[in-house]
Structure formats: C-alpha cells, structure tokens
Chains A and B, each alone.
Chain A
Amino acid sequence: MRMAELGPLAIALLVLTATGPFSTSVEADEPEITREPAASVESGSPHPLDLVSANLSALRFERALEDLGQFLSSTEPDDPERLRALVLRSQANVALGRFDAAERDYREILQLRPGFRPDAAATPRRAMDRFEKVSRELVGRVRLALVPATARVSAGGVDLVAETDGTIALLAGEQTLLIAAPGFDAARLTLQVPAGGNSTEKVILVPNARSVVFRTEPEGVEILVDGVLAGTTSRNAEAPHEAAQLVVEHLPLGEHQFELRRSCFRTERRQDVLSADLLDPTPRVYSVIALVPVRASIELTGGVRDSEVRIDGVSRGKLPLSPVELCPGEHAIEVERGGRLLWRSIERLVEGEDRQLWVTVRPNALVLGRSPPPEDLVRLGEHFNLHFHPDGSGLAAGAVDTWEADELPLTFDLVFAAEAESSASPGGAWHLHSPVLGARVHGVPLPRALGAPEIERSLWGFSTADSRRWGPAVVVSVLAGGAAEQAGLRVGERVVSLGGEPVRGAAELSRRLTSISPAGEAVLGIDGPEGRRSTTLRPTSGLRLPAPGMDSSQQVINAAWLRAIAASEPGTARAAAALAGLAWLLGESGRSAAAIDTWRRVEWPERAGLSRGTGQYFLGRELQRAGRTAEAAAALREAASSEATAWDDTGPTIAPAARDRLTDLGHAR
C-alpha cells in the first residue's frame, strides 16, 4: 500500500506514532478541541504542540496548521520546540499533499538538525523524495576515527551522536567540532563538509591524566590521595584470592602523595609521579601493598579491686588490669562496679605505646544547659565522669529554678547546668544541683576546687611546737610504734627542713606534711644533741572527714565525691569515712532524717581514731536535734565509752563531748 494513498485516518495514526513523545491522550472522536493561548501553558493547560498533535490525530489538519503557524509566529520557541513544530507541520503538509510546503519544512528542519530523517515507513514516497533532495543539497557526512573511541563530539554546544553507520551528519560547509574525553586534552576539528558527500577524519586526543590501581592486603584500606579520601580497597567477590583493590580514575599527571591506612595497621605512605603514555593509556597498577599490623597496650591500676574494665564497650577483665593489647587510636575506657560507673576516659594510643593508667573513683555528673564554656567542660572532665543531657540544650536561663529532683536520674551524683551569658550573668554562670543533699547553688562561677575531698591523711607519729627558747618546730611527742619513732626521731630534737626546704615553724611543717599522701615519704632535716642529720619517714595511713566551714558550692561537690567513694568501696575504711562525711553534710544541710539514716549505715572497721564512736556521737547529735532523746542518749552513751576521735585520727576525743551532751539530756555521769 502506498503512503500517498493512505486515508486521512491512517495519516493521523502515523502522525501519532511519529510524534510519540509529543502525542496526547486526546481521543479521536472528541468533537471539539479547545484552542488555548500559549499563555495557558503556564497555568497548567496542555502544551500547544500537544494540541497540534491531537488535532492531527483527529484529522483536523487545517486547524493544526493554523495553530502551528500561530505558534511559530507569535512565540519564540527554542530550538527543540521549533524543531518539533516544524516536524509536525511537515507531517500536516504531507498529509494534505502540500509537498512544496513540506520541502520548505525539511530545509528548516535540517538546518536545525542535520541528522534528521523522517520515518521512511510512515512517510509517503513522494515526500521522502523531496526530503532526500533537500538533504543532498544541505548535508554532508563525516566518519570520525577517534582515540579514545569514547571521546565525545559536539558542535555549537550540542552533542553529536554518530548514526548506526558510524557517520555524523553535518551541514555542508565549514564546520568546527569539539572532541573531548576525561583524562585527555580536548581538541577542535575544523573541516569542509561537502554537500551530499562523505569524508573521514581521524582525531587522537592527548592524555592529561592517568588512572591508578591500588592493591592491598588486607582489604578495607582507606586510600587518601593528596590528603583526600579517595575510597577503600575491596576484594572482588569473583576472585577472592586476589588482593583487594581500588581504582582511582583520571588522576592529574604530576606528583601525588598516597596514604594507605587502616585501624590496627601501620599507616603506609607512598609518593609517585604520574606521566602519560600515548602508547599505553591503561591505568597504572601498583604492586600489592601489605600493611603491617601494629599494637599498643594499656594497663590499669588503682581504683577498686575487681571492678570490671570495659574497653570500647567490651569487657576486658577486672582491676588491676594487666596490659591489654589494643590497636593504636582512640579508645573509650570504662571501669564499673555494681552497675556504677567509677571511672571513664577516652585515650588516644599511638603505635607501640604501653600506657599505664591510674584509676580513681569519680562521681558521675550530668551536664546540661546552654553553651557551657569549653574550658569549663575540660576542667569538669578532669574530675568527673561526664554525661550530657540530651535535652540540655533547651534549658533556659532561670529554668533551673523549676527543676524537680525526680525529673533527673537519681543515679547522678551531681548536676551541672550552664546558663548562657547574659546581661545578668556576663561570662555565664553555673547552677549546681546535688541529688544527694537535695541542695542547689545558683548562678556561680565554676568552683575552683572540683577534686575529691581528702578523706585519707598521712600519720607521721610525732608532733612539734614552736618555742621562743628552743626555736621553731621542736619535737614534743613521738608516738610509740609510729613512723617517727621508726625513723629515730626523738623528743627535744628540732625539725629544720623538709625535703631540703627549710622549716620555719610547727604550723608550716604540719601543713607541708599534711599535703604528702600516705603513699609518700618525707625527708626531715633534724637538729639534735648530736648535731644535724636527716632521716626519712614513711607515714602510715589515717582517715579524716571533710573539714567543716566549706561554702555551699563546696558542700555540693564534696557530697558528690563522698557518695561516689562510699558507693564504690563498700566495706573499706575509706568508704566509712566517706559515708560519715556525707552524713555530716546531710546534717549540715538540714536533712536530719537522711543524716540519721546515713550515720546508721556507716560501717566502721575496727580501728583507732575515727571509728564507731565517732559515728555514734554524730548520730546522737542528729537524734538530739530531731528530738529523739532516748535514741540519742543510747548513741551518746556508746560514744562516751569509746576512744574515738572527731574529724581525723588525731582530732579531739569524742568521749568527753558525748558526756557533755548526755549531761544536757539530764543523764548524770
């Protein structure tokens, strides 16, 4: 069947087929197609060319032509739309047998797209002849032989695609093509295209980059090129025995630094100068780089024996922890006991390092609030196990006034809330909340003393006094069996130096000796009847309670420490002293019931100095304050018969003070 003999309906169907993407779903028997102005496109109406397609499908060719004429004259369509409109018009003209007009359309179409060709199966012979004639007049064909073959060809910013025979249709005359490919310098090709002719051109692009292939053992190695992560090597699932590899494509020619890194392996660094090889454009494949495994170790001592040690969330043993091998890098170390976090630290280990860490029990503190000063956070982190409240950023200034203790997890020993800087508190301020004491301190700078109160003290076994006649720091007593006696110190001698530094008086000597931990020692310079000598004293360990007279901030901080120590080291003398200190603070905070309960929970080991009698005295005092006189008397009687001391192991004796309280209660001696 010849196309020219096709009926109008068949033509319309062909138009629909030919215009494909431009077609609409308008049905053929629709009685009327509304014409919409071009502006209606913007309001969501069908595109004018879609209406044209629909009219063509409905065999309303005249209307389609009318619309196309209006579209092409009244608007300024871009090239793709203009091309589409011209194609539709050529089809309409062909359908109406207006071949001259169709030929004019073909000319315009080929100017826009030299490679255009009507669908021969849907175009009548006569029309195709007209097209072929025009094509021979306007278009020539060029076959491009490209190196690399994947190079992209464009003209006037429009990509040109080779046809199935490998040629590219171009308008006759001088044409300039741009040929480009990744990793190559782009090239321009200017050529004379003969109308209706064929020619062949060869273009070889000059490489300006090169791909490289890294191969590693093991896999999962990160490759950094000039400091930028390029990727990670991986093994080919189909060749699992081959080295893992990563292809980094089109690296610019020149010198490059490569870093290959993986946790637990020594980082490797390489350097290479990449050059182009016109004869061999394949990637440069490096030989397999085998990373060397590396280790560091960590050892934990101190803390509470048998506490569990977790490293990066995995249990690794108990305290004291023998050296454990770890990969270099950052590790989270946590020590727990009975569900309580005693100590936490983030440690960054370097290759080959054997790090020894001393664990100390620390309180768990919750931090919330707005914009805590970084330097304050560093200080807090040095003393506390910090936890950050997830909702803390929303704490408004002053909102701490409305805190409810039960809103905060009671597992925390202390809460720090930062208040943003404001006119009321330039430089910001902190609010401290003690869940233990039920006390709050508002709007203060971060206290200077954040460390643990001293509940242990060195016992040196001697005392000194100053004398106008015999000079400063005269030894007035030496405790039998104490450190001083063992070191040969005698009454009447004078301490003239400590640690090589002169001693100016008994008070100074006492202060300096107090600052030496029970694990330390003191080298004393002695002036005695036989002249000057020096002797070394190693103290014994004693206990002390936090001194009274501290401000409210210090009370809150001390309470956190004491609670942490008491909870972490049950059964020890330290825990007893800590709990006693906490009970005393509770009493000072007016929490009499809690103080009484806490004093009753103190379990003193058998010892001299601070001991059960101490606790019974303060328990009696709290009971007396609470008006529970019978219970108070019972506790005070026990204190009165003890040899316990107050405040520290060499402090004032408890018994006479207890007797005085009993007298107040009407109990005769």
Chain B
Amino acid sequence: MPVPQSLSGRVPPRWIATLLSLTLLAPSAGADAREAEAAYRVAQRLVAEGSIEAVGALEHVLTLDPTGLLADDAHLDLALLNRPAVWPEELGRQPAEPLRIARGLLERLLATWPGSERAAEARYLLALLQLEPQVGFDATAARRDLIAVATLGEGSEWALRARYALGWMDDVAGQALRAEEAWSRILVDAPETEAATRAWSALGRQRLRDGEPAEAARLLQLAVERGAGPVAESLRELALRRIFAAHLEAAPSASAVNVDLPLKTVSSFAAAPDGGAVLADRREGRVIRVDALGVVVEQWALPRVDGVTADPLGRAWAVAGDTLVRLAPGGAVWPHATLGLQGVVAFVVDAHGSAYLLDRRGQRLFLLIPGSAAARPIGAEMGRRFRALATDGQQIYGLDARAREVWRVGVSGERLVAADVGSRPMAIAADASGRIAVLDARDGAVALIDGQGRRLATADVATPGSNLLGVGFSGDGGLQVVEAARRWRRWP
C-alpha cells in the first residue's frame, strides 16, 4: 500500500513504520481477510475498553489486510482514538499533534474508500477538524464537507450532526437566521436525537440573545430535560434572570462568593461560562483558573502574560508578548499564533477561535483567524481609544474609558451603544443575552445596560479599600468582579 504523499509528513514515526511495513507486505497481507476480521474484533473490544493496546491492535488489522473490507473501519477507529471533536462545542480541546494524525487518517480513508459505509462519518469528523482553531483551519472547506454530509443520506446520524454543525457555523458567523433554519429542521425531522437536544439549546441561546427570555427559558428547559449539559443549564438560569430582572438587587453582598486568590496581584481577569474565572499575574508570569467556588482547578506558567480571556465555549486564551496561546488542560500551553503586534490592550476570542485584538493604543482592531500567520487589521484606525473589549458571543463591544462610552465594534465599523457609563469606567463584560456590564472603579459600582444602551440596573459592588480591576459574567448571568488586591467576588 503506497503511503500517500500528503500524509507522510504528518504521521508519527511508529505509524510511518507501520505504513512502510504495510507497503512491503501488501501483496501477501491482503490474502488473509479472515484473520484481519478476527483481529478487528479484538481491536474493537480493546477500543471499547479504552485499552492502550487498541492502537496497536488496529494497526495489526491494517498489517494483515491493508486494503480489505475492514481497512476503512480501522482507519476511522484509529482517527477516533486521537479524540477529534465530534460536536462543534468540543473544538479546541485537543493539542495539535493528535488532531493532525486524525486528519491524515480521515483524508486517507476518504481518498482511498470514497464509497465506504463510514465515509459520511469520516467526512463529518474531517470537517470539524478543519474547524479546529489551529493550523489547517479552513472554514470554507469545512462548510463544503458538512453540506455534503448533510444533504446525502438525509436522516442519518451524521447528516443530522452535519446540519447541526452548519447551524453552529452560521451562528458564529452572525448568520442567525440561517442557523435557526438548520436547527429548526433538526427539531422537525428528528426530534428525539442528540442533535435535536443541542438544537433546542442553541435556539434557546438565540432567543436569549434576541431579547426573548421567556421563550429562551422554555427552549432551554426542553434541552435540559433531554440531557443538555451545564452550559444549557447556565443559559436557562440567565434567561430566568432576564425574566425576573432581579439580577443584582436580589444579590446582597453577603451571598457573594469571596475568594482571596493565590496570586500576588491580578493583572488580567476573564469570567468563564461555568461560573469560574481565569486570572493572570503578569509579574509572577502565572495564570490560574478557579471554579465557581473559587477553588483553583488549573494553573499555567506564562511569562509576560499580558491578558487572558475565556471564549463562549469556555476555552481559556492568553496573550503573552506577540503570541496568542491556548491555555490547555493539565497546565499545557499551546502556542496558537504569532500576532505580529506587541502590547495588546485587550482581546476576545469567538467560538471559532478567531481572536479580536486591540493594539497598544486601543485605536485599531485586529483579527486573527486560526491558522493564519498573523493578525490583520480590521478597517482603518478607529477615531477613539478603547481600553477594554467584551463579546456576548455575537457582537464585540469596546469601552472608551476616557469618553465614558461603550461602542459596538467589528468589521462593519463602530456604533455607539451608550454614553456616560460611570465616572471612571474601568472594564466591561457582556453576557449571552446581550447585557453589558460596565465597571466604574471610582463609584465602586457596576452599571448594567442592554444592547440599545438602556440602563437596566446599577449595583454597588465595592468593599472598603477595594481597588476594582475587572468585571465579568458567569454563563448564568451572575456577576463577577475582581480587585487588584487579588480578591475575586462572584454573585449567584
């Protein structure tokens, strides 16, 4: 079996050796299909058991019968052992290397056995791999593959997943109507599937963003009843919060979680959707992640960390110098891209992994698409200086601290959202329902405004001697603030 040229540079040495051995053995190895079938059964069992021997067992299947009936299955199973995302929400959770291996295997499967029974599954997984926020990111190719899977074999599991993923892509790209159509179709055509459960949740998120919290709560409740996870539960909580409009006045200080962080100072802060937060100490070159109770669950060593953020999927990112990195589980730091600019003032990352960055003067917005060599500026220099950025998952907001204004920024230009937002606005945050929180360091208060600039409420969040630094929203709409003196506070 010849090793495809496109793969030779991507597979690990052991796999290369295997492929080479297959190449040498190919004329005789194909003869024993029955032995390969027996070996595949063994491998299947090992895969199900999570055994470390599974990889070797699958490779053995290919050794026995490299082009046999089970070769495509073995390829796909090997790819899955590298844990590629199987839903869009799982993107960006694996390091580059295993995903690169998985991608090579899937590409080979599709090239060699285009008519395989598992081709739809392979193409779907490959599409998601193309959406991984890393080198090789190709949204156009991913979309093409997803359409191919969705429109062939209607009703199959992979067609449903592909349609769901298309909706997800549309939603991230701001094509809300098209996303709604794809998700609604899943609900109509296959209401009892996992794709439908995710669609209920996604539509609930849309309704929340559209200012329909009651409908959002209903949809998210349906999603939770069908097994949707904690993200849906948080969004449901946020919807209820919007219905009650009782976000802060019903949250006395006594009920807040107060945690003294194990950092000397806090230089950067981002609230995470799960109620926790990511916090950086630039001086120590250290980043920590706390859960909703303030317990440190992850930490990373990152010299010269300038800022941190958490994207809508809960992934943590950091900028250090001119590098954007992913703060991965287990303390790993995955270099994501070189920005090509220094002294980033603020940045946010969307669900695709695209980063929006403010240059050192806060006057120019840059976009870094996953896999691209460097960030590129969006439009011309803006007529104001922004101090902070926030995103609700759809829109990006900038805080002009000097002018005490909040603006919507992005590829289509800037638009004023609200003026006179406090006496000394320091930071902003946005939640999935479109609420914007503006932290006023002087008044020790947080002003809540909606997407049209209407003030919803003001909350006193200061404690004696506090030096407020940042503000954020938990996924359920709960407010968080952090003080430079390393105190983190979260309201339910």
Chain A residues lying within 8 Å of B181, measured Cβ to Cβ, are: 656-657, 659-660, 663
Contact with A along B212-247 (1 / 0, CB 8 A): 011101101100110000000100110111011000
Say whether B215 contacts A660, CB under 8 Å.
no
Known: A476-B218, A491-B214, A625-B154. A466 touches B188 (CB 8 A): no
Docked-complex contact A656 and B185, CB < 8 angstroms: yes
Given A465-B218, A469-B492, check contact A476 B187 (CB 8 Å): no
Pick from B177, B192, B215, B225 the residue with the most CB of A within 10 Å. B225
Interface mask (B183-217 → A, CB under 8 Å = 1, otherwise 0): 01101111110000000000000000000011101
A204 to chain B, nearest CB (A): 95
A495 proximal to B (CB < 8 A): no
- Say yes or no: B214 contacts A476, CB within 8 Å: yes
- Measured in the bound complex, the distance between the Cα atoms of B221 and A386 in whole Å is 44
Cα A147 to Cα B214 with chains together (Å)? 107
Check: B28 CB closer than 8 A to any chain A CB.
no
What chain B residues lie within 8 Å of A652 (beta carbons)?
Answer: 184, 187-188, 191
CB-CB nearest in chain A for B220: A465
Report B-chain residues with C-beta under 8 Å of the C-beta of A660: 163, 178, 181-182, 184-185
Q: Are A476 and B225 in contact (CB under 8 A)?
A: no
Are B151 and A466 within 8 A (Cβ)? no
User: In the bound complex, what is the Cα–Cα distance between A584 and B61 (angstroms)?
Assistant: 43
Contact check, A657 vs B239: say whether CB atoms are below 8 A apart.
no
A664 touches which of B151, B221, B237, B243 (Cβ 8 Å): B151
Residue of B nearest to A474 (CB): B240
Q: In the complex the two chains form, what is the Cα distance from A660 to B177 in whole Å?
A: 10
Q: Within 8 Å CB of A663, what residues of B? A: 178, 181
Specify which chain B residues have a CB less than 8 angstroms from the CB of A657 in the assembled complex.
181, 184-185, 187-189
- Asked if B476 lies at the interface with its beta carbon under 8 angstroms from chain A, I say yes
A253 to chain B, nearest CB (A): 80
A477 touches B185 (CB 8 A): no
Chain A hits for B359, CB < 8 A: none
A654 touches B (CB below 8 Å): yes
Cβ of B231 to closest chain A Cβ, rounded Å: 14
Does A215 count as interface, using CB distance less than 8 angstroms?
no
Contact pattern, B 129-157, Cβ under 8 Å of A = 1, otherwise 0: 00000000000000000000001001000
**Interface contact B185-A661, CB-CB below 8 Å:** yes
Q: Does B180 have its Cβ within 8 Å of any Cβ on chain A?
A: yes
**B-chain residues with CB within 8 Å of residue A506 when the two chains form the complex:** 221, 225
Query: Once the chains bind, are B218 and A463 in contact (CB under 8 Å)?
Result: yes
- Least Cβ distance of A518 to chain B in Å? 21
Chain B 475-492 interface mask (CB, 8 Å, partner A; 1/0): 010000000000000001
Asked if A653 is at the interface (CB within 8 A of a chain B CB), the reply is yes
Name the A residues within 8 Å of B243 (CB-CB). 476, 491-492
Residue of B whose beta carbon sits closest to that of A466:
B221
Min Cβ gap A652→B in Å is 4
Known: A465-B218, A465-B240, A491-B214. 19 other contacts (CB 8 A): A463-B221, A465-B239, A466-B221, A468-B476, A469-B241, A470-B240, A476-B239, A477-B215, A547-B191, A549-B192, A647-B191, A651-B191, A652-B184, A653-B184, A655-B184, A656-B185, A657-B181, A657-B184, A657-B189
Q: A466-B236, A548-B192 are in contact. Are A477 and B218 (CB under 8 A)?
A: yes
- Nearest residue (CB) in B for A468 is B237
Interface string of A340-357 (1 = CB under 8 A from B): 000000000000000000
A621 at the interface (CB under 8 A from B): yes
Neighbouring B residues of A492 by C-beta, 8 Å: 243-244
The 10 closest A-B pairs by CB, nearest first: A652-B187, A660-B181, A656-B184, A657-B185, A477-B214, A465-B221, A476-B217, A656-B181, A646-B188, A657-B188
| Residue numbers in A under 8 Å from B224 (CB-CB) | 466
Shortest C-beta distance, B182 to chain A (Å), equals 5
Mark A78-94 against chain B: 1 for CB-CB distance below 8 A, else 0: 00000000000000000
CA distance in complex: A326, B424 (Å): 92
- Using Cβ atoms and an 8 Å threshold, which residues of chain A touch B163? 660
In the complex, residue of chain A having the shortest beta-carbon distance to the beta carbon of B218? A463
Q: What is the CA–CA distance of A466 and B240 in the complex, to the nearest angstrom? A: 9
Taken residue by residue from 459 to 471, chain A's Cβ proximity to chain B (1 for < 8 Å, 0 otherwise) reads as 0000111111110
In the complex, which residues of chain A have a beta carbon less than 8 angstroms from the beta carbon of B217? 463, 465, 476-477
Judge whether A646 and B221 touch: CB under 8 Å: no
Residue of A nearest to B476 (CB): A468
Closest to A646 in B: B188
Residue of B nearest to A661 (CB): B185
Number of interface residues of A (CB under 8 A): 36
Chain B residue at minimum C-beta to C-beta distance from A665: B151
In the assembled complex, the CB of B50 is this many whole angstroms from the nearest CB of chain A, namely 30
Q: Give the residues in chain A near B213, CB-CB below 8 Å.
A: 476
A657 to B217, CA, bound (A): 21
Contact partners of B218 in chain A: CB under 8 A? 463, 465, 476-477
Contacts of B185 in A (CB 8 A): 656-657, 660-661
Q: Among the interface residues A468, A548, A656, which one has the most CB atoms of the partner chain B within 10 A?
A: A656
Assembled-state Cα–Cα distance A409/B269 (Å): 76
B167 nearest in chain A by CB position: A660
**What A residues does B220 contact at CB under 8 A?**
465
Contact A548 B225 (CB under 8 A): no
Q: Are A469 and B189 in contact (CB-based, < 8 A)?
A: no
Query: With A and B bound together, what is the CA distance between A656 and B185 in angstroms?
Result: 7
Q: In the complex, how many angstroms separate the beta carbon of A42 from the nearest chain B beta carbon?
A: 80
- A621 CB contact (under 8 Å) in B178, B180, B189, B239: B189
In the bound complex, residues from chain B placing their C-beta under 8 Å from that of A656 are: 177, 180-181, 184-185
8 Å CB contact of B191 from A466, A468, A548, A661: A548
- In the complex, the chain B residue whose C-beta lies closest to that of A473 is B221
* Distance in Å: Cβ of A258 to nearest Cβ of chain B: 68
Residue with the highest number of chain B CB atoms closer than 10 Å, among A467, A510, A625: A467
A548 to B240, CA, bound (A): 31
Report the Cα distance A510→B225, complex, angstroms.
Answer: 11
Nearest CB in chain B to that of A550: its residue: B192
**Is A507 an interface residue, CB under 8 A from the partner?**
yes
B296 to chain A, nearest CB (A): 23
21 A–B pairs (Cβ distance < 8 Å), ordered by A: A463-B214, A463-B218, A466-B224, A468-B237, A469-B241, A476-B218, A476-B239, A476-B243, A491-B243, A492-B244, A506-B225, A548-B191, A548-B192, A549-B192, A647-B191, A654-B188, A656-B177, A656-B185, A657-B181, A657-B187, A657-B188
Shortest Cβ distance from A588 into B: residue: B155
A617 within 8 A of B: yes
Chain B residues in 8 Å Cβ range of A469: 237, 240-241, 492
**Nearest opposing residue in chain B for A650, CB measure:** B218
User: A464 CA to B185 CA in the complex, in Å?
Assistant: 24
- Contact residues of A between 615 and 669, Cβ < 8 Å to B: 617, 621, 625, 646-647, 651-657, 659-661, 663-664
User: Which of B178, B189, B244 is in CB contact (< 8 Å) with A470?
Assistant: B244
A617–B180 Cα distance when bound, in Å, is: 16
**Chain A nearest CB, measured from B245 CB (Å):** 10
Chain B residues with Cβ under 8 A from A474's Cβ?
Answer: 240
Most buried by B among A469, A548, A549: A469
Q: Tell me, rounded to whole Å, the shortest Cβ–Cβ distance linking B217 to chain A.
A: 4
CB distance from B483 to the nearest CB of A (A): 25
The smallest beta-carbon distance between A319 and chain B, in angstroms, is 36
The smallest C-beta distance from A507 to any residue of chain B, in angstroms, reads 4
Contact of B225 among A477, A507, A617, A654 (CB under 8 A): A507
Smallest CB-CB separation from B190: which chain A residue?
A548
Which residues of chain B are within 8 angstroms of A476 by Cβ–Cβ distance?
Answer: 213-214, 217-218, 221, 239-240, 243
Docked pose: A547 CA to B225 CA in angstroms: 16
Complex: chain B residue closest to A663, CB-CB:
B181
Interface residues of B in 39-80 (CB under 8 A from A): none
Most chain B CB within 10 A, of A476, A549, A653, A661, is at A476
Residue of A whose beta carbon sits closest to that of B203: A652
Given contacts A477-B214, A656-B184, A660-B182, whether A464 and B221 have CB atoms under 8 Å apart is: yes
What chain B residues lie within 8 Å of A659 (beta carbons)? 181
Convert A505-544 into 0s and 1s, putting 1 for each residue whose CB lies closer than 8 angstroms to a CB of B.
Answer: 0110010000000000000000000000000000000000
